[in-house]
Chain A
Amino acid sequence: MKMHNTRISLGLYLAGLIGLLAFTPAVTFAQDTAADTDVSNTATVSYEFDGAPQPDETGEESFEVDARVQPVVTLDNAPEITIGEDDTVTEFTVTNSGNQTQDFIIDLVQPTDDDFDLENVVVYRDGGDGVFDPDDPLGGDDIVIVISTQDETQVGRIDDIAAGDDVTVWVVGDVPETGVDPDDSVDLDLIATAFKSDGSGIEVATSAGSADIDTVDTVFADADGPATVDDATDGQASDDATLTTPDDTISVTKGAEVRNSDGSGGADQFYLPGERVRYTITLDYSGLDEEDASNIVMADPIPANTTYVAGSITLNTVAQTDADDDPGTDFSDFGATTADTVTVVIQGTRNSSSSDDVITFDVTID
């Protein structure tokens, strides 16, 4: 072709290409073309010389589809846990998103930068029914994956997962009774490493691959995962679960009402200067799910533009003094522990079944 024509054609092509890039849809296919498939393309030209048909000529080109190694690990369910709970079940899915059958070696890592580790951890792979039964953990042909060393001899490795298929993996472990506090977390990293389905390790494809388009290269297409050892395009995939013990809470509610000047209940309900206001503070312990609470201190600075009514503190209807005479006499003071603040110390311990503690004190509006 003449140079002139070549330039026009290339320009035409590039213009079309740029236009297409804008709206080329993300393409997904039900089934990826398998690795090692030979994609052959034959073009035929028919033509005439001086009006006489000539034999068709053909041109042919083929390339091999390369192997994409792409394990994907997904956390499906991180359970609610409690301190001391046995047999917590965390569910992951390991998917072969590549285009050839693959084996996967499973590793479970409990990172050290969390608060505690699960104990007696056992990793199971689903035998086919997709259901984990804690009472019959090996029911439905479920298999224990022995996490020891990450090699191709691993017992319970996930063998021969066809392209596009996935397997459910359960991590079962106990939350320790001791050394675990409310709102503590444990991290679980599940790592899948792709191996050839014949069990031998996979060589990382170099970025150049083979210069021969008829050669099957292996291309790692996995994403970077949360596990420390798991980088992008290393034939490994991971996901992490964070299991957290509930945070113990004491809920505090506070109300106010206008009282008569002697503190008795009154009919006058207007918040006006000179009026006496009673604050009622209720401590509710029903959120203490995990542990008993002790050394509970309630501190409440009195509002601006009010004056504390001396001797008005009560704890569970028992009058308290304003002096810091704790322990022995009572457990409260005004302004002694902290200036302009009502401080009440709850003696002993409280748990989720403890009764509420109710504190009142009065102020007058300046």
Chain B
Amino acid sequence: MLMQKQFSLLAGLSVLIASVLTAQEAKRQPLSLEVRAELETVRIQPDGRRLVELVSAEKVLPGETIVYTITYTNPGEIPAENVVINNPVPEEMMYLDGSAVGEGTQIDFSVDGETYGKSADLVVSLSDGTTRPAEPGEYRAVRWTLVEDIPANSSGFVRYRAILR
């Protein structure tokens, strides 16, 4: 009898452990990342004011400005830590100076896709061995390091503008 009791207790415990694990799995779901490309259009209003609109990138021609919006979502129930979002600028695109934004993020850039730094610190190596400050149009990647965790069940976005070459 005793044996039996112990057995059923064990069985009951294992069921409990399983259900706890399942709950833990439900709490931590992978982050999702959505990239959206929108065309920035400027319409001159009848009163002369400029109205800037973002429209779907259905028609994009060289020289036009695309706004990339990267939306991150933490669908789980525990906060995501040490979040870093990295976006290589497409080679057809030219990053627009000062356009990267992201609330609660530290923004760094890279001219080689490997080393990152502040705009002012980036340099381009020249053939004669010297360096010169990098132009924003030469940034090949943008990196946002989130200062805070992404809380459970929340999302946010980062954004930058680039011109189609």
- Chain A min CB distance to B64 (Å): 9
Q: Does B134 belong to the interface (CB within 8 Å)?
A: no
Contacts of B116 in A (CB 8 A): none
A9 with B30: CB separation less than 8 A = no
Ordered by A's residue number, 14 sampled pairs between the chains whose C-beta atoms are within 8 Å are A9-B103, A9-B156, A20-B96, A29-B94, A29-B165, A32-B165, A41-B68, A41-B87, A45-B33, A49-B78, A50-B28, A58-B33, A209-B59, A213-B60
Interface 0/1 of B3-31, CB less than 8 Å to A:
00000000000000000000000001011
8 other A-B residue contacts (CB within 8 Å) besides A49-B81, A68-B62, A217-B58: A5-B103, A8-B103, A39-B92, A47-B82, A47-B150, A49-B78, A99-B61, A99-B62
- Within 171-230 of A, Cβ neighbours of B (below 8 Å) are at 205, 208-213, 215, 217, 219, 221
Contacts of B163 in A (CB 8 A): 27
Interface 0/1 of B77-108, CB less than 8 Å to A:
01011111111111011101111010100000
Contacts of A40 in B (CB 8 A): 90
Stretch from A59-67, A83-91, A252-260 at the B interface? A59-67
Q: Across chains A and B, which 9 residue pairs bring their CB atoms closest together, nearest first?
A: A59-B33, A32-B62, A61-B35, A43-B87, A59-B35, A1-B156, A47-B80, A47-B83, A63-B57
B98 with A61: CB separation less than 8 A = no
Contacts of B81 in A (CB 8 A): 47-51
Q: Does A317 belong to the interface (CB within 8 Å)?
A: no
Number of residue pairs spanning A and B whose beta carbons lie under 8 angstroms apart: 165
List the B residue with the shortest CB-CB distance to A216: B59
CA A103 to CA B28, docked complex, whole Å? 58
- Within 6-39 of A, Cβ neighbours of B (below 8 Å) are at 8-9, 12-13, 16-17, 19-21, 24, 27-29, 31-33, 37, 39
Of B70, B80, B93, which is within 8 A of A49 by CB? B80
Contacts of B161 in A (CB 8 A): 17, 20
Q: What does DSSP make chain B's interface, helix, strand, loop or mixed?
A: strand
- Chain A min CB distance to B62 (Å): 4
> How many of chain B's residues touch chain A, expressed as a range?
35 or more
A residues at B contact (CB < 8 Å): 1-2, 5, 8-9, 12-13, 16-17, 19-21, 24, 27-29, 31-33, 37, 39-51, 54-55, 57-66, 68, 99, 205, 208-213, 215, 217, 219, 221
